[in-house]
Every structure is written in C-alpha cells, then in structure tokens.
Amino acid sequence: MNNNYQLGFYVRRDSWKSDRKAKVTWIEFVIEGKPIKGNPPYFGGFKNPPGHPRAGKIMGPRLVKLEADWLDGGQMTTDSGGNYCWIRIEN
C-alpha cells in the first residue's frame, strides 16, 4: 500500500545477513497498481477462486516471489510473505 500497490520493492528477512536483500516481483492475487483484496494487514479472509489448488477454501498464506542474485537460481517463492519477519528497505 505504501508504494501505490507497485511491485519491484526490496525486502530483507530478519534471519538474512544484513547485506542481503531481495526484490519482490510477484504476490499471489495482487494486481499491480490496484488495491489488494482482503482485510489489512494480511489481506486475507476471502475464498480461493475456481482453478486454484485450494479453490473454495479461505485464502491462506499468499505466495510471494523474490529475486536476488544470491538466491539459488536467482529466485525463490515463499508463503511467509505476510508475517513480521520482513523489513521493507530502499534499493
């Protein structure tokens, strides 16, 4: 929300070395530039849409794709994007 719903911001996980960061390139059910569906701060509370592996069940942890040169294969997908172990940082 703090950056007008734009992806491409950087984060650091509290368990990473202080010089490590990753770019957020995708968040499940988020359309860049549009308000996030669900109730803040986790933006959950709605049912997964048809075709989703958990269709009809209450949306659980959102998947988040991160990119960084130091990650295996240059990227990772996590389901822990909605907890307090992340810090948004400047690039």
pLDDT tens-digit map of 19-69: 999 999 999 888 999 988 877 777 777 888 899 888 888 887 788 999 999
Q: Which of 63, 66, 62 is nearest to 25 (CA)?
A: 66
For 64, other C-beta atoms within 10 Å of its C-beta total: 22
Range(s) of the domain holding residue 87: 1-91
pTM: 0.83
Q: Taking residues 10-26, what's their average pLDDT? A: 95
Number of domains in the chain: 1
